[in-house]
Chain A
C-alpha cells in the first residue's frame, strides 16, 4: 500500500522505481543496469558506491572486480563519476521522497555530483510522510538529514521543466524487501 503510493508519487517526479525480494536480485539488476548504461573503467564512466549496510555480507572482492565499480569516494572521484550508488534509509510515501542521514560526506558526494544516482532502499523503510520521519530522526543523532524527491530540476529558463542542473539527471530507486540485519 505505502509502496504503491510511493511509486506513483516518485514516478510523478521522474524517478524510476524498481523492487526486488532479495539483495542478490537487486544487485543483479543494479549491475545489469550499470553495464547497459555504459559502466567502464575510465573515471567518466565509472560508478562510485558509498558505504552502507547493503554491502554487509556481500562478496566485496567479486564486486571490486567489476570494471568501473569503485568504493573510494573522494571529491575528485565523485566529481567525475557517471554513477553514484548510495543507500537511503527511508522513503516518504505521500511525496515520493527518499531520506537519509547524510552526515557522512561520501553519501552526499555520490548522490549530488553524479549524473545518475542509484538509491538502494529497504522496503521496510517506507514511511507514510514527513511528520513520521521527523518523529523518528532527531537532529541530535543526525547533523545532516537529506531528503531527495526525483532528479535535479529547474524551470528557470522560460519556465520549461528541465532535468539535471547541478544534481543528477536520473534517479533510480531500487527497493529490497529482505534487507536483513539492522538497517
Chain B
C-alpha cells in the first residue's frame, strides 16, 4: 500500500468527528433498518430486485432502445453516450445553445463520476449544488465522504463557520438555524437558475420515465423551476417494467436511511408545462461509461444489481472507522471499490480493495444481493494477474506452497520465538508474522504441534471415521483444541484420523489474490483428505471449513481448472464444521452432555465465515446452553473482531480499533467467558485481553464442550 494511502487512513482513524459520527450512525442504523423492514420478507424482496435488475443488466441495449423510444414519444430528448467527455460536451452544448449562465443540481453520483461541476465552472457557468450535504462540501471545497450523507464527516461548528462566511454574519452552531440559513440562501439560486440537472434513481424502459427521490425537496425544485431539465442517468438504473418501481422503492429508502419512503418521490415522464405556459425542455442522458463491459463480465455483471442505497457502507466495520475520503473522490465503501475499479480504472482500486476485511457484513444487507466481498476478491485476483505479487508475499507463498518447508519453519519458529515468550504469548514472532501490532499479543508456537500430539492419543477403534482438518492455527498454536475435538468425537462414536499431508487451506493466498497458490494448496489438501474413506471431514476453523466447503471449487472455477473439480465437490460434500457435527451427534442421541450443570454466564462471538458463509450460529449457542452456560448476548455479536487473517498485520491501524470495540462489547455483558468457533478469532481476542488486562477467558467452543461430555 502506498504511503499516501496509509497517511489518509491514519488521518481518518484519528479524526474523532468522523469516527464518532460514523460510529454512532452505524449503531443506530442497524436498529432502525430492522424496524423499517418489520413485516417484510427481505429475502424474498431482494430476490425480486436481484432478478429484475439482473434481467435489466443482461438486456442493457434492448432496454436503452425501449427507454429512448418511449421517452422521446413522451417529448423528451434522449442522448446516449459511453464516453464521459461526450456527456460533458453535450450538457455544455445544451447550456450554450440556450444562453444558460447558472445551473442548479440535485444530488447525482453520475455527475460526480464525470466531474461535471468543474467542467461547467471552467466554461463560465455557475453550478449550485442544492442537496444540503453536497452544498456544504461544495462550500468547503471537499468531496463526499458518504454516498447518501456526503458531509457526515463535518461538525456543526465547521458548518457554521462555512455558512457564516457565505452570509457574512456570525452564526451559532444551532442546527435548525443553519438549515434555515441554507434554505434562505439557496432559494434565490433556485429561482434564478436557467437549467436544472438531476440524476435518476430509476429509469423505466416501458414508459420512458425517470424516478427521483429526495428528502429535502430539492429535486422537485430542480425539475420544476428552471425551463430546462437534464437528467444524467447511468444505464444500470434501467429497469424494464413500471410496476417494478414499487419493488425498488420498497427497499431503497429502508436500506439507505431506514425510512419507509423518502419525503419526495417524483416519477417524471416527458416534459411538463412551465409556469408561463411554455413547455419545459427535458433531456435525458443515458450514460454507459463501461457499464456494458461490466454487464458482459461473468463475475462483475452482478454489480449492476446495485440500487445505490449505500447500506454496504453503513454496516461495514471498516467504513465506520475510515469514512469515505480514503476511498477516493467519487464512489466509496464496498460497492464503491468495485465501481471505482470499473468506472475509473482497475489500478485506482489497488489500495482501496485492501481495505475489505472480507467479513461479509454487507452481503447480509445488500438489497441487490451482490456478493461484494467476492467481487473485491476478484479485483485482487485480477490485480495480481496484471501486476504480480509483491516480492515479500511471493517469498511467503513460496514457503506456504511447500508443506514440509512451511511446517519446518513453523516448528523452527517455536525455537526462535522462545526467548520472547511470556506465558502463552509471544511479543514478536519471526517469519512473516513479524510486523506486529500494538494492542494484541500473539500466541506462542506450540512446543509440540497437534500432528505430533495426535500420535499419542489413544483412540478406541470405531466404525465411523472422520478426517480432522486442523488448519495451521490449531496444528501449530492451539493443539489443545484439536485434542478436545478428538475427545468429543470419540465420545460420539466417531474415530478421528489425521491425514499428515494436509497443508495450509490456501485462504491467505486467495485473500491476497494469489489464486494459483490457493489452487495448488487445494490440490494438496484434496489428495490428503480423500485418501482414506471417511464419513466426515471436520474442521474447527470456519475459514478452513469455508475453504474446503466452497473455495476450493470457486478457486478452480476462477482459474478455469477442471481437473480436480469433481474431487473438490466430493470433499465439499463431506466437510462439516465442529459445532454442526456435534449438534447432530447430540440430536441423534449419540453424544450426551452432563446434566444439570450451572457453569455461569457466557457470551458468544460469531465468527464471520461461520455466521455468514456457513450460516451456523444457533448450533454453538444451543450446545453451550445445553452444557449449562447461561448465554448473555453482546452488542454486535456478529461484527468482525478485526483479525481477518493477514489483514491485522497489513492494516493494524484499522484492525486495532475494531478489536477494541469487540473487547468493550464483550466486557459490557459481564460474562467471564467468551466463546467462539474460530481459532483466528481466539488469537485476536485472547491477545487483546492479554494486553487489556481484563480477566475474561477466551475459549473455543470445542474446548468448553469437551469439558462437559459424558
Known: A157-B159, A159-B24, A159-B25. A165 touches B243 (CB 8 A): no
For chain B, which range describes its interface: under 10, 10 to 19, 20 to 34, or 35 or more residues?
35 or more
Q: How far apart are the CA atoms of A133 and B208 in the complex, in Å?
A: 18
Residues 107-147 of A, flagged 1 when their CB comes within 8 A of B and 0 if not, give 01100110000000000000001110111001110111111
B264 interface residue (CB < 8 Å to A): yes
Q: How far apart are the CA atoms of A140 and B260 in the complex, in Å?
A: 27
Tell me which residues across on chain A come within 8 A of B225, comparing CB atoms: 75
Evaluate contact between A151 and B224: CB separation under 8 angstroms: no
A90 to chain B, nearest CB (A): 13
| One of B94-102, B209-217, B335-343 at the interface | B209-217
Evaluate contact between A96 and B263: CB separation under 8 angstroms: no
Evaluate contact between A160 and B175: CB separation under 8 angstroms: yes
**3 A-B pairs with the lowest CB-CB distances in the bound complex, closest first:** A167-B217, A156-B133, A139-B269
Evaluate contact between B220 and A139: CB separation under 8 angstroms: no
A68 interface residue (CB < 8 Å to B): no
Among B109-151, those with CB < 8 Å from A are 130-133, 136, 149-151
A53 interface residue (CB < 8 Å to B): no
B365 to chain A, nearest CB (A): 19
B165 interface residue (CB < 8 Å to A): no
Residues 244-258 of B, flagged 1 when their CB comes within 8 A of A and 0 if not, give 011001100000010
Q: How far apart are the CA atoms of A144 and B219 in the complex, in Å?
A: 13
Residues 7-51 of A, flagged 1 when their CB comes within 8 A of B and 0 if not, give 001000100000000000000000000000000000000000000
Known: A75-B225, A103-B272, A106-B275. A157 touches B178 (CB 8 A): yes
Footprint of A on B, CB under 8 Å? Answer: 21, 24-25, 74, 130-133, 136, 149-152, 154-156, 159, 175-176, 178-180, 182-183, 186-187, 190-191, 204, 207-209, 215-218, 220-221, 223-225, 242-243, 245-246, 249-250, 257, 259-275
Evaluate contact between A143 and B268: CB separation under 8 angstroms: yes
Evaluate contact between B260 and A95: CB separation under 8 angstroms: yes
Q: How far apart are the CA atoms of A131 and B48 in the complex, in Å?
A: 14
The one of B132, B191, B271 in contact with A165, judged by C-beta atoms closer than 8 angstroms, is B132
Give me 6 A-to-B residue pairs in the complex whose CB atoms sit less than 8 angstroms apart, sorted by A's number: A105-B272, A106-B275, A134-B246, A154-B133, A155-B215, A156-B151
Known: A144-B272, A149-B261, A166-B186. A112 touches B220 (CB 8 A): yes
Evaluate contact between B260 and A159: CB separation under 8 angstroms: no
* B268 to chain A: closest residue by CB: A144
Q: How far apart are the CA atoms of A138 and B225 in the complex, in Å?
A: 24
A96 to chain B, nearest CB (A): 7
Tell me which residues across on chain B come within 8 A of A154, comparing CB atoms: 132-133, 179, 215-216
Tell me which residues across on chain A come within 8 A of B272, comparing CB atoms: 103, 105, 143-144
Main DSSP-derived SS at the B contact region: mixed
Evaluate contact between A158 and B183: CB separation under 8 angstroms: no
Tell me which residues across on chain B come within 8 A of A109, comparing CB atoms: 224, 275
Tell me which residues across on chain A come within 8 A of B74, comparing CB atoms: 139, 143
* B224 to chain A: closest residue by CB: A108
Evaluate contact between B25 and A166: CB separation under 8 angstroms: no
How many residue pairs at the A-B interface have CB separations less than 8 Å?
A: 174
Known: A108-B220, A131-B243, A142-B269. A74 touches B275 (CB 8 A): yes
Footprint of B on A, CB under 8 Å? Answer: 9, 13, 73-75, 79, 92, 94-97, 102-106, 108-109, 112-113, 129-131, 133-135, 138-140, 142-160, 162-168
Q: How far apart are the CA atoms of A135 and B223 in the complex, in Å?
A: 24
Tell me which residues across on chain B come within 8 A of A133, comparing CB atoms: 246
Known: A139-B269, A143-B271. A155 touches B216 (CB 8 A): no
Tell me which residues across on chain B come within 8 A of A95, comparing CB atoms: 260-261
Tell me which residues across on chain A come within 8 A of B262, comparing CB atoms: 149
Evaluate contact between B260 and A157: CB separation under 8 angstroms: no
Evaluate contact between A146 and B265: CB separation under 8 angstroms: yes
Q: How far apart are the CA atoms of A90 and B267 in the complex, in Å?
A: 15
Q: How far apart are the CA atoms of A108 and B273 in the complex, in Å?
A: 11
Tell me which residues across on chain B come within 8 A of A97, comparing CB atoms: 261, 265
* B270 to chain A: closest residue by CB: A143
Tell me which residues across on chain A come within 8 A of B217, comparing CB atoms: 112, 152, 165-168
The one of B21, B215, B223, B260 in contact with A158, judged by C-beta atoms closer than 8 angstroms, is B21
Q: How far apart are the CA atoms of A148 and B131 in the complex, in Å?
A: 17
* B241 to chain A: closest residue by CB: A134
Q: How far apart are the CA atoms of A138 and B182 in the complex, in Å?
A: 36
Q: How far apart are the CA atoms of A84 and B207 in the complex, in Å?
A: 31
Tell me which residues across on chain B come within 8 A of A143, comparing CB atoms: 74, 268-272
Tell me which residues across on chain A come within 8 A of B268, comparing CB atoms: 143-145
Q: How far apart are the CA atoms of A162 and B176 in the complex, in Å?
A: 6
* A77 to chain B: closest residue by CB: B275
Evaluate contact between B151 and A147: CB separation under 8 angstroms: no
Evaluate contact between B273 and A151: CB separation under 8 angstroms: no
Tell me which residues across on chain A come within 8 A of B180, comparing CB atoms: 164
